[in-house]
A and B are shown apart, each in its own frame.
Chain A
Amino acid sequence: QKEVEQDPGPLSVPEGAIVSLNCTYSNSAFQYFMWYRQYSRKGPELLMYTYSSGNKEDGRFTAQVDKSSKYISLFIRDSQPSDSATYLCAMSDRAPSGGSYIPTFGRGTSLIVHP
């Protein structure tokens, strides 16, 4: 079993739909949770960052973390064709002494928003 599980999709939705993207994880030490968006042949772009459990909202995007269930979600409201991309969840433990944290990534979910 991988540390971070993410359904690769593709997930196809009509423009304007609410999109729900999810990841599960097995390492209870994870406490930093991130969502990245990656367009084809580009590097990942940080969308949302959350510490521990709870919700965080930024415009059309809402990130939820449920540490008791080891489950995180990203919701996209009023989805647009420009949201079509691969969405990667990532999570990490505290950084070790003398270094920075190392996120563990899911494999990404491909999202297609059609007009």
Chain B
Amino acid sequence: DAGVTQSPTHLIKTRGQQVTLRCSPKSGHDTVSWYQQALGQGPQFIFQYYEEEERQRGNFPDRFSGHQFPNYSSELNVNALLLGDSALYLCASSLVSREGGGAFFGQGTRLTVV
């Protein structure tokens, strides 16, 4: 059973550029959430997708957008990259019908903006 997979694992971008990160959820899961984790900090919630719609959003600007596909996989897009966007981006999958229970994380994409 494949867990949550993310691609790419590492990425270096220039300030002002745009980036797309990808996530495939754990088999059987229907909800994908994205998090940003700065060095030495806990993950910060960006947004969550269920049924191909953004359902909840954290305190992140509109430069951060996403998409969920019919097969439940998801993309995170960040426009006009800033140096402060450098972080580990984590995707987590869960089952909306299962209350609580813990989300399962991918290995993350480490984004460096120079």
Interface residues of A (CB under 8 A from B): 4, 6, 8, 31-32, 34, 36, 41-46, 49, 51, 88, 90, 92, 94-96, 98-108
Q: Give every chain A residue within 8 A of B33 (Cβ-Cβ).
A: 100, 102
Q: B105: shortest Cβ distance to chain A, in Å?
A: 4
B42 sits at the interface (CB 8 A): yes
Q: Which residues of B contact A102 (CB under 8 A)?
A: 33, 45, 48, 56, 58
- Alpha-carbon gap, A6 to B43, bound state (A): 13
Q: Using Cβ atoms and an 8 Å threshold, which residues of chain B touch A103?
A: 103
| Interface size counted on chain B using CB atoms at 8 A | 32
Q: How many A-B residue pairs have CB under 8 A?
A: 81
Q: Contact check: which of B40, B43, B48, B94 meets A44 at CB < 8 Å? A: B43
**Is B108 on the interface with A (CB-CB < 8 A)?**
yes
Contact A105 B102, CB 8 Å, known A98-B55, A99-B96, A100-B33? no
Interface residues of B (CB under 8 A from A): 4, 6, 31, 33, 40-45, 48, 50-51, 55-56, 58, 88, 90, 94-96, 99-108, 110
> Which residue from B45, B50, B100, B106 sits with its C-beta under 8 Å from A43?
B106
Asked whether, in the complex, the Cβ of B90 is within 8 Å of the Cβ of A43, the reply is yes
Q: How far is the CA of A6 from the CA of B40 in the complex (A)?
A: 12
